[in-house]
């Protein structure tokens, strides 16, 4: 498993768990980051933070501290 933020651009993965609590966890779940959701890393911003991901058909930008709270496993593994 790997943190969502470390997912290479162009790769897809599936969310396995969230390591967040309270409002942060609720916000991530509202964005669609729930176990079983497929995500794809699209691109970095010019300074590498935030990073854009495709989540349930929407493009969402997450900062490093948010992306490192989501564990994913590569699709097909």
Tens of pLDDT, residue by residue, the chain (77 residues): 899 999 999 999 999 999 999 999 999 999 999 999 999 999 998 888 999 999 999 999 999 999 999 999 998 76
Q: Helices in the chain by DSSP H: which ranges? A: 22-30, 64-67
- Predicted confidence at residue 77, as pLDDT, reads 63
- pTM confidence score: 0.89
């Amino acid at each position: 498993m790997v943190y969502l933020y470390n997912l290479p651009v162009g790769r897809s993965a599936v969310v396995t768990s969230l390591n967040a609590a309270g409002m942060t966890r609720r916000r991530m779940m509202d964005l669609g980051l729930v176990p079983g959701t497929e995500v794809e890393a699209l691109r970095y911003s010019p300074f590498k933070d935030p990073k854009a991901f495709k989540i349930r058909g929407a493009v969402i930008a997450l900062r490093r501290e948010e992306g490192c709270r989501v564990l994913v496993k590569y699709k097909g593994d």
